[in-house]
Amino acid sequence: MTTIFDTITEPIARRVTAGLVRIGHVLRSRAWKGATPEGVTPTQGHALGLLREAEGGLSLGAIASMLGISAPTASDAMSALATKGLVVKAPGAKPRSINLSLTSEGEALAARTSEWPAFLSDAVETLEPAEQAALLRALVKLIRAMQASGDIPVQKMCVTCRYFRPNAHPGTETPHHCALVDAPFGDRHLRLHCGEHVPAEDDALYEQWR
């Protein structure tokens, strides 16, 4: 049944996006507060976080595109981090390209400052367990979609892992199975980053889960 609100309300995708953008603004302004004693700007802090997730480092171009900034701005930010001893530059795989990776000091700072801000985890804690699981599931799908479009780097998530066996135990609270540790798990256990992750050959497992 349609109501007047179907015509006077913005599409739900736009309202959800607006909500996420608002949270993103707060995160951007607050999440890196812990880095300020080292003189790291939010952009530099964000770059440290990206480098921490990227095995083998990232090219300057990749960092610029992930941060949504120009190559010269990315270059300035990376030079500042290199001067602070947080990042090292090395010749990239392509001619004249530069690969960037974290030093041990950069790793430590990225680990320290990328912890979840308490204000956000406190807000998530106010949700019911089922709501938290549903939100996690939605986030996994969003991240997967952005990964497929190239808007974020590849994430080591369960749903894209070769060891993931979706719905191996149907009708139970833990319907999925991890073939690596040989144990069942549910949506609430889905990992966004797993050190043991091995990329699946195709999207079949993700589609099965989705």
d(CA 143, CA 16): 15
Told to check if 53 binds ligand SF4 by CB under 6 A, we report: no
Least CB distance to ligand SF4 at residue 182 (A): 10
- Give the range of 92-100, 107-115, 129-137, 191-199 binding ligand SF4 by CB under 6 A: 191-199
Nearer to ligand SF4, 144 or 191 (CB): 191
Contact indicator for 15, 23 with CB cutoff of 8 Å: no
Least CB distance to ligand SF4 at residue 34 (A): 28
Least CB distance to ligand SF4 at residue 180 (A): 4
d(CA 166, CA 205): 7
Could you tell me the strand order of the sheet in which 176-178 lies? 164-165, 176-178, 183-185
d(CA 179, CA 42): 39
- Please count the CA atoms within 13 angstroms of the CA of 55 that sit on its side-chain side: 9
Cβ neighbours, 10 Å, residue 70: 10
Told to check if 178 binds ligand SF4 by CB under 6 A, we report: yes
Told to check if 46 binds ligand SF4 by CB under 6 A, we report: no
Number of residues interacting with ligand SF4: please give it, by CB under 6 A: 10
Residue carrying the six token digits 């480092």: 57
Told to check if 144 binds ligand SF4 by CB under 6 A, we report: no
- Give the range of 24-32, 39-47, 68-76, 190-198 binding ligand SF4 by CB under 6 A: 190-198
Residue type (1 letter), 135:
L
Under rule CB under 6 A, which residues in 148-167 are in contact with ligand SF4? 158, 161, 163-164
By CB under 6 A, name the binding residues for ligand SF4. Answer: 158, 161, 163-164, 178, 180, 191, 194, 196-197
